[in-house]
Structure 1
Amino acid sequence: MRRVGTVVRTAGGLAIARGEAGKAPPEIGAGVVNESLSNVGRVVDVFGPVNHPYVAVTPANAVSLASLVGGPLYAR
Structure 2
Amino acid sequence: MRRVGTVVRTAGGLAIARGSVGEDPPDIGAGVVDESLSRVGRVVDVFGPVDHPYVAVTPASGVSLPALVGGPLYAR
Q: Separation in 1 of the partners of 2:35 and 2:26? A: 17
Report what 1:52 is aligned to. Answer: 52
- What stretches of structure 1 of length at least 5 have no aligned partner? none
> Residues 46-72 of structure 1, C-alpha deviation per residue, up to 9 Å, x if partnerless?
000000000000000010000000000
Q: Separation in 2 of the partners of 1:6 and 1:19? A: 7
TM-score (norm 1): 0.99
**What is the 5 A alignment of 1:5-16?**
5-16=5-16
Q: Separation in 1 of the partners of 2:15 and 2:59? A: 7
Secondary structure (helix, strand or coil) at the match of 1:9 reads: strand
User: Which of structure 1's runs of 4+ aligned residues deviate more than 3 A?
Assistant: none
CA RMSD of aligned residues (A): 0.2
How many residue pairs align between the two structures?
A: 76
TM-score (norm 2): 0.99
Report what 1:21 is aligned to. Answer: 21
Could you tell me how far 1:4 is from its partner in structure 2?
0.2
Amino acid at match of 1:60: A
